[in-house]
Amino acid sequence: MSITPSATLESPLTSTWGPTNPYHDGPLVMSGYASGLWPHDSQPQFWSKYQVWEWLQQVMDIHQIDASSLPFQNFDMDGHQLCSLNYHDFIRAAGSVGHILYNSITELKSGGQYHLDIGQLELKHENLCPFPDVSYPPGEIYDPSVQSLAPNISPTPSSPEIKRSFSRGHQVKKHNPRGTHLWEFIRDILLNPERNPGLIKWEDRTEGVFRFLKSEAVAQLWGKKKNNSSMTYEKLSRAMRYYYKREILERVDGRRLVYKFGRNARGWREAEK
């Protein structure tokens, strides 16, 4: 599997994503996925090149790794090709973050279960991470600044256009304050069990019930995303409660720290119902 040195370096996806990105080298580079359109309902094998990039961006977001340090050009491929890469391919293509990406895609491939005999589906034990990861402190507040991973893969001065605005088909609809809405942020963490340091856990996957395991850590991560270091679970939960009225979340009383996706929350289901 060669990493395809990207012949089509600047494909159609290189428009620009926000000429107004106020924080150039800021801690965050903003996520780039269109709200509600995250293709989690499809198998990675079927992702388009664009979706592969969205996945890359999301994994970077969740790990608080500056996405500009990731050579997206090395992933100029569709989901089928992505799924054929082995661990070393990822290391070659992404350096030290390669193993995170590998774990993520492996998780998605096996977790996403079923057919598509592309020849993988090896290892499917989420508890058996084949590679030692940067494991976040088990019971500590996950310190986002611990980018112990690929802190520098040469900050590629040539601004890697992770950007979006793929005028293809739909997308770019509403407006959301900086990238993702809170519920999408939560959903995406849930959908990335790979290196999710036990922040949130599914209680009932098919029903959309989940529980915060490390509420304050999630709040910190959310705050990090919104560039708000004073975010707390107290405040985050207020925002969560506002979702009840909008039916993005359903109330789950009795169980503390437990929420459930409502009819207006999209993209969290396994296959679709």
Partner DNA sequence: AGGATATTTCCTGTTT
Partner DNA sequence: CAAACAGGAAATATCC
Q: Which of 41, 155, 228, 271 binds DNA (CB under 7 A)?
A: 228
Distance CA 6, CA 193 (A): 29
Q: Does 141 bind DNA (CB under 7 A)?
A: no
Q: Does 37 bind DNA (CB under 7 A)?
A: no
- Show the binding pattern over residues 193-222: x = contacts DNA (CB under 7 A), - = does not: ----------------------xx-----x
Dihedral, CA atoms, 227, 233, 237, 238, nearest 10 degrees? -70
* 74 touches 160 (CB < 8 A): no
* Cβ proximity to DNA, 157 vs 177, nearer residue: 177
Q: Does 124 bind DNA (CB under 7 A)?
A: no
Q: Does 139 bind DNA (CB under 7 A)?
A: no
Distance CA 258, CA 273 (A): 22
Q: Does 20 bind DNA (CB under 7 A)?
A: yes
Contacts (CB under 7 A) with DNA, residues 242-271: 242, 244, 246, 251, 253-254, 256-258
* 164 touches 19 (CB < 8 A): no
Q: Does 105 bind DNA (CB under 7 A)?
A: no
Q: Which of 86, 148, 167, 176 binds DNA (CB under 7 A)?
A: 176
* Cβ proximity to DNA, 38 vs 102, nearer residue: 38
CB of residue 117 to DNA, shortest distance in Å: 40
Handedness of CA 231, 179, 76, 105 (dihedral sign): positive
* Cβ proximity to DNA, 168 vs 246, nearer residue: 246
Q: Does 15 bind DNA (CB under 7 A)?
A: no
* Cβ proximity to DNA, 23 vs 131, nearer residue: 23
Q: Does 142 bind DNA (CB under 7 A)?
A: no
- Total of residues contacting DNA (CB under 7 A): 36
Handedness of CA 227, 179, 90, 194 (dihedral sign): positive
CB of residue 88 to DNA, shortest distance in Å: 38
Stretch binding DNA (CB under 7 A), from 7-15, 78-86, 116-124, 227-235: 227-235
CB of residue 27 to DNA, shortest distance in Å: 13
Give 37-67 as a DSSP string.
---TTS-GGG--HHHHHHHHHHHHHHTT--G
Question: In terms of Cα–Cα distance, which of 4, 10, 6, 28 is closest to 160?
Answer: 10
Residues binding DNA (CB under 7 A): 18, 20, 172, 174-178, 181-183, 215-216, 222, 226-228, 230-231, 233-239, 241-242, 244, 246, 251, 253-254, 256-258
